[in-house]
Amino acid sequence: MIHFILIQNRQGKTRLSKWYTPYEDVEKRKLSHEIHKIVNSRETKFTNFVEFRTHRIVYRRYAGLFFSVCVDPTDNELFCLEAIHLFVEVLDAYFGNVCELDLVFNFYKVYAIIDEVFLAGELMEPSKHVILQRMEFLDNLP
Amino acid sequence: MSMSVTNPNIAKTSMRGLTNFISDLRNSPSKENEEKRVTKEMAHIRKEFKENKNIDGYQRRKYVCKLVYMYMLGYELDFGHMEAVTLLSSTKFSEKQIGYIALGILLNEQHEMLPLIINSFKEDLLARSDYFQSLALAAICNIGGKEVAEFLSPLIQKLLIANTSSPMVKKRCALAILRMNRKHIGFVSPDSWVERLVSVLDEPDFGVLTSLMSLLIELASENPVGWEPAIPKVIYLLKKIIINKEFPKEYVYYHVTCPWLQVKLLKFLRYFPAPDESQGGKVLGEILTAIFAQSESAKAGTVNHKNSLNAVLFEAINLIIHLDNDPVLLKQTSLLLGRFLTVKETNIRYLGLEAMSHFASLSNETSIMIKKYQDTVLLSLKDSDISIRRRALDLLYGMCDKNTCKHIVAELLSYLQTADYAIREELVIKIANLAEKFASNYSWYVDVILQLITTAGDFVSDDIWFRVVKIVTNHEDIQAYAASTVFNALQSRNCHETLIKVGGYILGEFGHLIADNPQSSPLVQFNILHSKFNTCGAPTKALLLSTYAKFVNLFPELTQQTQEVFKQHQSYIDAEIQQRACEYLNLTSLNEDLMQTVLDVIPAFIDAKDNSNTTSNTANNSNMINSQDSKISSGGYNQSPQTQIQPQVQPQAQNQQQNVSTNGLDLLDPFGLGLTNQQPTQQPTQQPVYQQQQAESFSPIQNDTVSSFGQQQGGFNSPTIQAAGSPISSGGSDPMQIKILASYKRLCLVTEGVLYEDSMLQVGLKSEYQSGQGRLMLYYGNSSTFPLTNFNITLNSIAGLTLQPQSIAPVIQPKAQLQQPVTFTCTAEFTESPIITINFLTPGKPITISLRLPIVISKFFEPLRLSSGDFFARWKTISGKPLEIQEIFKSTKPIDIQSYNRVIQEGLNITVLKQVDPNPNNIVASCLFPFGSNGQPINSYIRIETNPQANMCRLTIRSQSATLTNTIKNLLISHLQ
């Protein structure tokens, strides 16, 4: 299962964090900090997977943003990597060429989108088309 | 689906006030300005919520968003939660949605507010629109806890199978059930669920199927029995997608049909034995062959296309390895994996190495199939990416056998010299395990371990060197070799302390085997060891004293030199060393027969192989295996050491084992053989707390004890004692001693108080701790009528705890007080408290007081809240000594659970987990120690079962660190007993 998802910029500012395992706020800050340190220090030719405590981090960098997902070591890494990409494509289509500022100013939208893609630490909906159609529908509700 | 460049819906639903506020904060020239702005906004919103009776839904939504934004920036939020709850009952979707989003961010499953909103969940679940239902279900998936499960599960079950539910609702229901089952393991049993869940597999919607498969995988991973009826349908779905190519077109992702669903379907099958004909076994073979064929196209196309195909391919490979029934596919797999080792894409190499480890562990044949790749794998060990190196190390470990071990171990040893710290510990454990497991002769084994100690001594745990000592003791043919090898190794100027320990032990036992050689004569052996003595820590010093005692027995010509050393240490600050020095001095000078009996060669250990098991356990843990999935994930290479060696130790062996693993010194400590008659004062080793060197004329109470001890010890006094006065190890019955111990224990639980008090001096302290740092203010008060001069403090760091005391004035005037701040940092587990030694002069008399400072590891614990499911899931991942310790003790006072809870929670900073164990007499608790010696935080899990009638307690502690487990045990017993 996914324990958490983090979107962080290169400076280490966390733009979005979604926690599927309950952590205390202190622990959340510590985890975010550590993850950023790890992924930011890795070279681009390295794998997108890195061991972290008893878990594995699957991450991908898009321009200045790191999307990191913490999963169990038994999870399929490429599954997670492409799930990240699916999510990014959804954001990109929804915001129209998404950039970091879109995520800052519309954070509540991003949370709404993430709940359409992932729930309970699992990938729920694997179709970009279905997700975007749903968002369009929800945005037009009274 | 294409969207216009800017989505008009964003503007339609955005809130201008929020956008401006975020802009303001972003444009703040400094952090202080930002804080000011935040404080101002908080005050404004608080006022609005309190006083504005006409606040409308839009405003409430906007304010809640602002509050959440501030919370996301790290500001604390002490209000606004209720306003988010109010939004839940709005009939407008946009308002309700923000309410749910806010609560999803602000609350977690333990939050006290959660029970208050269960009713809102229920109302929305009963709503007729699937978007309200969806919001409630998402919230249940995100923050639902046990109460939610109890209260709402029947409703959610119904929604999952109802024909009227939309796919939007169904997929969320499946995951909500998954969530509830995680919080409440066993909540979904096959008896009552299998039929219903299997019927949902007929659902055409791929979103529903993907979610449902997550649920089924979770259930099968817990216990596959009962879920078999899903197998034929799962195989049928795979066939539909892969062979028949029937699928909804919106689920095609870079020309691959919903790779995620394919992966989940394949993964589910890994929990079951190979399906037979009636379940679709033959079709499954065709499917797997087709997956191999389609992966050929992965050579071309976009990264996403390749990744998708490979995600499915690796899942198929794992399934093939699990099924282990198709020689053609297995052969293909080995070829494919061999090819992956040399591809450019690091991700594929990484996964290839991992899959190959699983493959190697399958059988002899499979491991032979991949032998030819050994050199390629060795190259990966030098990859610049640590992720690759870790996988390569795992694989090599699994590939190793009798024929290849010398080569592989040699490679690993040479890699160890340059390996970075992140991987050294694991490497050392693996090398030690391999060397022992495949050693054809033990001299090679001894060489390997000594090389380990020389290259990476800091990472060689006690377990490893205990093991060498045991093996050498048990194998006569290598004893002389071992003695000369360690002797040679000790010639190096910078020996690692572990080498000195091994050297001390082996020469003490077997030094006589090489003593005929003039180059390693007894005196040379003694000199080489003693030249290192002063640089060693206390445990090593104590061990060396035992070696010297053994020398006296073996080589009478060394009597004078060694006794000189014993004499010098008769009043040593460390009680263990002092005791040994006194005892050995007497033992070696009083009675030769007794000496020969006591210092005879240690008999062979009864070999339970427990230790190698321990070390491989550690290797396992560092391999990060999730317990639930270990069956499918780790591959036998990790499990083999455990399954081969049954840790069934005979009682006698267990005793010895304990000696070995709990304390290395006991190995050599031959006392406890009825020497108490001879040495009446040698009781207090367990309490190296309080030593006071004091002349006769002070307070009358102390005077009594002083003189009585002085008399008892008179015989052992020697002229070389460092300070004036006689050394006193106070016994357990000394009232001063009892008082000191009580103060110490109390201060271990609280932050300030008096540590020591007598007629002259009072020592008080205040302490504060924050994330690994601590600060202590020590107060020294002179309660006498004369000045205390030459006042000085000795306070040394101990392993795991670095102390920095500030210097202090040398004089305390009568009735005056000195303060001394001490800062300290915790860097690893530590077992004992640091000792502070206070020296000063009263008119004419020197005084020395040694006290334990109440700095205990629990001061650095951080809370660890776990649900019952999480607790037991993690609890199960650790078992067996030394990571687990169990101890039964009788309480001296009537057991009171409430006060136990208080001591544990407030005193020892260990989080008591309520409602995990329904028995009110039991306590379940956990804590987090963030500064583990391997650089990672360590969780500890604790159960205390009490029997108030019998006044007995049983304590079980599990953690990933043997040291931590043991320290927590000692702490709990000392404070609960």
Across residues B818-824, what is the average pLDDT? Answer: 87
Which residue in chain A has the smallest CA separation from B68? A108
Residues 6+ apart with CB under 8 A from B741: B687, B689, B690
Residues 6+ apart with CB under 8 A from B234: B201, B213, B216, B265, B268, B269
Mutate to test the interface with A, among B76, B218, B253 (most CBs of A within 10 A): B253
**Distance between CA atoms of residues B319 and B738, nearest Å:** 64
Residue B707's pLDDT is what? Answer: 33
Across the interface, whether the CB atoms of A46 and B92 are under 8 A apart is answered no
Alpha helices in B361-510 (DSSP H): 364-369, 374-380, 386-399, 405-418, 421-438, 442-456, 462-474, 479-490, 497-510
**pLDDT at B781 > cutoff 60:** yes
Which residue in chain A has the smallest CA separation from B262? A79
Domain residues of chain B, as ranges? Answer: 189-325, 735-855, 858-976
Across residues B642-671, what is the average pLDDT? Answer: 35
**Distance between CA atoms of residues B507 and B139, nearest Å:** 67
Candidate CATH numbers 2.40.40.20, 2.60.40.1230, 2.40.30.270, 1.10.600.10; the one for domain B735-855: 2.60.40.1230
Q: B-contacting residues of A 49-68, CB under 8 Å?
A: 49-51, 53-56
Across all residues in chain B, what is the average pLDDT?
82
Q: Specify the pairing of strand B789-795 against strand B773-782.
A: unpaired
Across the interface, whether the CB atoms of B12 and A139 are under 8 A apart is answered yes
**pLDDT at B580 > cutoff 50:** yes
Is B66 annotated among the ligand-binding residues?
yes
The CA distance from A53 to the nearest CA of chain B, in Å, is 7
Residues of B in contact with A125 (CB under 8 A): 171, 207, 210-211
pLDDT in tens, B22-71: 999 999 999 999 999 999 999 999 999 999 989 999 999 999 999 999 99
Report the percentage of chain B scoring pLDDT > 90.
45
The answer to whether B227 and B216 have CB atoms below 8 angstroms apart is yes
Cα atoms found within 13 Å of the Cα of residue B266, Cβ hemisphere only: 28
Which residue in chain B has the smallest CA separation from A115? B138
Residue B607's pLDDT is what? Answer: 57
Tokens of B195: 């039929």
Chain A to chain B, count of Cβ pairs less than 8 Å apart?
209
Tokens of B488: 């040679």
Q: Which of A105, A128, A139 sits opposite B22 (nearest CB)?
A: A105
Residue B688's pLDDT is what? Answer: 33
Across the interface, whether the CB atoms of A47 and B94 are under 8 A apart is answered no
Residue B648's pLDDT is what? Answer: 36
Residue (of B597, B601, B641, B600) closest to B621 by Cα position: B641
**Distance between CA atoms of residues B161 and B194, nearest Å:** 12
The answer to whether B962 and B882 have CB atoms below 8 angstroms apart is yes
The top-scoring range by mean pLDDT among B243-257, B407-421, B437-451, B589-603 is B243-257
| N-to-C CA span, chain A | 35
Please report which confidence band the pLDDT of residue B3 belongs to, taking 50, 70 and 90 as the band edges: very low
Please report which confidence band the pLDDT of residue B110 belongs to, taking 50, 70 and 90 as the band edges: confident
Across the interface, whether the CB atoms of A74 and B633 are under 8 A apart is answered yes
Across the interface, whether the CB atoms of A111 and B105 are under 8 A apart is answered yes
**Distance between CA atoms of residues B904 and B217, nearest Å:** 38
**pLDDT at B691 > cutoff 70:** no
**pLDDT at B597 > cutoff 90:** no
Collapsing DSSP to helix, strand or coil, B939 comes out as strand
B310 touching A (Cβ < 8 Å): yes
The top-scoring range by mean pLDDT among B123-132, B141-150, B804-813 is B123-132
Residue B169's pLDDT is what? Answer: 97
ipTM of the complex: 0.98
Name which residue leads in pLDDT, B682 or B368. Answer: B368
Across residues B751-755, what is the average pLDDT? Answer: 88
Whole-number Cα distances in Å, B496 to B436, B499, B542: 22, 5, 16
**pLDDT at B701 > cutoff 90:** no
pLDDT in tens, B449-496: 989 998 888 888 888 888 889 889 888 889 999 999 999 999 988 889
- Residue A71: which CATH number? 3.30.450.60
Please report which confidence band the pLDDT of residue B292 belongs to, taking 50, 70 and 90 as the band edges: very high
Across residues B851-875, what is the average pLDDT? Answer: 87
Across the interface, whether the CB atoms of A55 and B928 are under 8 A apart is answered no
**Partners of B757 in the beta sheet?**
B762
Please give the residue range of the domain that contains residue A126.
Answer: 2-140
Is B236 annotated among the ligand-binding residues?
no
Mutate to test the interface with B, among A72, A99, A119, A134 (most CBs of B within 10 A): A119
Q: Which of B101, B384, B630 sits opposite A111 (nearest CB)?
A: B101
Please report which confidence band the pLDDT of residue B380 belongs to, taking 50, 70 and 90 as the band edges: very high
Residue (of A73, A102, A70, A95) closest to A83 by Cα position: A70
pLDDT in tens, A70-129: 999 999 999 999 999 999 999 999 999 999 999 999 999 999 999 999 999 999 999 999
Is B62 annotated among the ligand-binding residues?
yes
Q: Which of B3, B74, B390 sits opposite A93 (nearest CB)?
A: B3
Across the interface, whether the CB atoms of B260 and A115 are under 8 A apart is answered no
The helix (H) or strand (E) run that includes residue A50 is strand A49-52
Please report which confidence band the pLDDT of residue B194 belongs to, taking 50, 70 and 90 as the band edges: very high
Q: Specify the pairing of strand B862-863 against strand B952-959.
A: unpaired
Q: A-contacting residues of B 70-99, CB under 8 Å?
A: 72, 74, 92-94, 97-98
Is B253 annotated among the ligand-binding residues?
no
Residue B296's pLDDT is what? Answer: 82
Please report which confidence band the pLDDT of residue B508 belongs to, taking 50, 70 and 90 as the band edges: very high
pLDDT in tens, B934-974: 778 888 999 998 888 888 888 899 988 888 898 998 888 88
Residue B818's pLDDT is what? Answer: 85
Residue B733's pLDDT is what? Answer: 60
User: Does the model's pTM come out above 0.80?
Assistant: no
**pLDDT at B679 > cutoff 90:** no
For B596-610, letters b (16+ CB in 10 Å) and e give eebbeebeebeebbb
**Looking at this protein, which amino acid is placed at residue A40?**
N
Third-level CATH fold of B858-976: TATA-Binding Protein (3.30.310)
Cis peptide before B882 (omega within 30 of 0): yes
Q: Which of B165-174, B365-374, B450-459, B647-656 has the lowest mean pLDDT?
A: B647-656
Q: Please write down the HEC assignment for all residues of B824-887.
A: EEECCCCCCCCEEEEEEEECCEEEEEEEECCCCHHHHCEECCCCHHHHHHHHHHCCCCCCEEEE
Across the interface, whether the CB atoms of A119 and B308 are under 8 A apart is answered no
Is B766 annotated among the ligand-binding residues?
no
Across the interface, whether the CB atoms of B207 and A130 are under 8 A apart is answered yes
Q: A-contacting residues of B 361-400, CB under 8 Å?
A: 384-388, 390
Q: A-contacting residues of B 137-156, CB under 8 Å?
A: 138, 141-142
Residue B299's pLDDT is what? Answer: 64
Q: Pseudo-torsion of CA B202, B203, B208, B209, nearest 10°?
A: 30
**Distance between CA atoms of residues B538 and B578, nearest Å:** 10
A33 touching B (Cβ < 8 Å): no
The CA distance from B88 to the nearest CA of chain A, in Å, is 15
Residues 6+ apart with CB under 8 A from B512: B522, B554, B555
B109 touching A (Cβ < 8 Å): yes
Q: Which of A24, A86, A115 sits opposite B863 (nearest CB)?
A: A24
CB-based burial label for B732 (10 Å; 0-12, 13-18, 19+): exposed
Residues 6+ apart with CB under 8 A from B167: B203, B205, B207, B208
Residue B531 has a CB neighbour count (10 Å cut-off) of 12
Collapsing DSSP to helix, strand or coil, B609 comes out as coil
Tokens of B919: 């028995």
pLDDT in tens, B544-578: 999 999 998 889 899 999 999 999 999 998 999 99
- What is the tally of structural domains in chain A? 1
pLDDT in tens, B222-281: 999 999 999 999 999 999 999 999 999 999 999 999 999 999 999 999 999 999 999 999
A13 touching B (Cβ < 8 Å): no
Residue with tokens 């899959």: B355
The answer to whether B760 and B842 have CB atoms below 8 angstroms apart is yes
Residue B187's pLDDT is what? Answer: 84
A90 touching B (Cβ < 8 Å): no
Residue A20's pLDDT is what? Answer: 94
Alpha helices in B298-385 (DSSP H): 303-323, 327-340, 346-360, 364-369, 374-380
The CA distance from B249 to the nearest CA of chain A, in Å, is 10
Residue B2 has a CB neighbour count (10 Å cut-off) of 6
DSSP one-letter code for B603: P
Residue A13 has a CB neighbour count (10 Å cut-off) of 14
